[in-house]
Amino acid sequence: MEKAPREIQTKRKNKVKIVNYIYRRGHASKVDIANDLGLSMPTVLQNIKELSDAGIVEEVGNYQSTGGRKAKALSIVPSICYAVGVDITANHLGLVMIDAKGAILSNTRQRMRYEDTFSYYQEISERIQAFIDDTLEDPKEREKIAGIGVSIPGIIDKANHILLKSHALNVSNISLLKMSQFLPYKVVFDNDANCAAYTEISDPDKNVIYLSLNNTVGGAISYNGKLYEGDHLKSGEFGHIIIVPNGEKCYCGKRGCVDCYCSALRLSSHTGGNLEKYFIELKNGNHDFEKIWNDYLYTLALIVSNLRMAFDCDIIIGGYVGGYLKDYLIDLSKLVMQMNKFDFDTSYLRCSKYHMEASAYGIAMWLIQKFYDTIA
């Protein structure tokens, strides 16, 4: 007797739940899965057997026993699939490959100036393929690549594969198929801030604001574990919130935008575009740079305070500046507390776990997640 469609759908959902639970935890016992997901033990046992037979889940040892039989620890088989993340900026190409557990197998950052030309898209595709071949020498392993995710700074119409507008790359209305046509893999595209935010979305029940401080300021809003993109794909454009009325002119045409005061360029412009050099000078006690930094930090505190009041959730600061902010997070928190009288602390505020590779790693993680979501 064939199973009813609803029963089949329920079984598939349970399997996806179990895989995602193990993936997020790193490892789990059958008892943990049953208790935390509210599933019966026979359901868990049957699904684990099918996942093990399919080579997706494996036993990796025992949990420490407090008496009685030791529980087996279950984990994802790392070689079940792979994903490649690509980060395109105005002057660089970042590449990351991860396995099914999210571990980075290889990553590189190469200097490559963006051009909207046939030769650029062909060369970038060749570099991606060479990176894949070097990381996975066995051709059979390359067949397990779930896809290639490409992070691009700008507003992207993902349904039609069009880069609508990118100030950082100085282009608009570009067909993204120009690149994917050269690659023999599934290729997806997303905004760089969205991609970086994927690295921080580990709890589907937690809401998060991701503030990206790159050469332009952007961001992303994660609501119930999913990115909110807005009705016109412009959600998270925090860089164009006016923070100083009648202030400095922004490239968008308005005055006083956040981007004018908190982009990485606000700092790196004083060291010939080298942000690392700016922070070295700052640590060495350069008084001029200290004044610039204090002004920067004060404006950043205003933004954080406003975002906290608007969204009332965790705020993660990433991007180029976010990679250096950890040493100054206490100073930022003190300023935020002076401005925000509705919170008792700033435990909601932290720096991103990742730096330069955040966007490439994030879009690769998204592909791995999609692989699990489609397990039958």
Q: Are 375 and 22 in contact, with CB atoms under 8 Å apart?
A: no
Rounded CA separation 199/158 (Å): 20
The arithmetic mean of pLDDT across residues 359-370, rounded, is 95
Predicted confidence at residue 234, as pLDDT, reads 86
- Dihedral sign, Cα of residue 200, residue 202, residue 203, residue 204: positive
> What CATH number does the domain located at 80-197+358-373 have?
3.30.420.40
DSSP 257: B
Q: At what angle do helices 358-373 and 5-25 cross, to 10 degrees?
A: 150
Reading phi first (left if > 0) and then psi (alpha if -120 to 50, else beta), residue 62 is in: beta
Asked if domains 80-197+358-373 and 204-351 share a fold, the reply is: yes
- Give the three-class secondary structure for 348: coil
Domain boundaries, the chain: 5-76, 80-197+358-373, 204-351
Predicted confidence at residue 79, as pLDDT, reads 96
Q: Terminus-to-terminus CA distance in the chain, angstroms?
A: 20
Q: Are 216 and 168 in contact, with CB atoms under 8 Å apart?
A: yes
- Tens of pLDDT along 6-39? 777 888 899 999 999 999 889 999 999 999 999 9
- List Cα–Cα distances, 123 to 91, 189, 250, 312, in angstroms: 14, 18, 33, 44
> What CATH number does the domain located at 204-351 have?
3.30.420.40
Confidence check: pLDDT of 69 > 70: no
Reading phi first (left if > 0) and then psi (alpha if -120 to 50, else beta), residue 171 is in: beta
> What CATH number does the domain located at 5-76 have?
1.10.10.10
Task: State how far Cα 346 lies from the chain centre.
Answer: 22
Predicted confidence at residue 1, as pLDDT, reads 47
Q: Does the model's pTM come out above 0.75?
A: yes
Confidence check: pLDDT of 65 > 70: no
**Six token digits for residue 305:** 């305070």
The arithmetic mean of pLDDT across residues 313-333, rounded, is 95
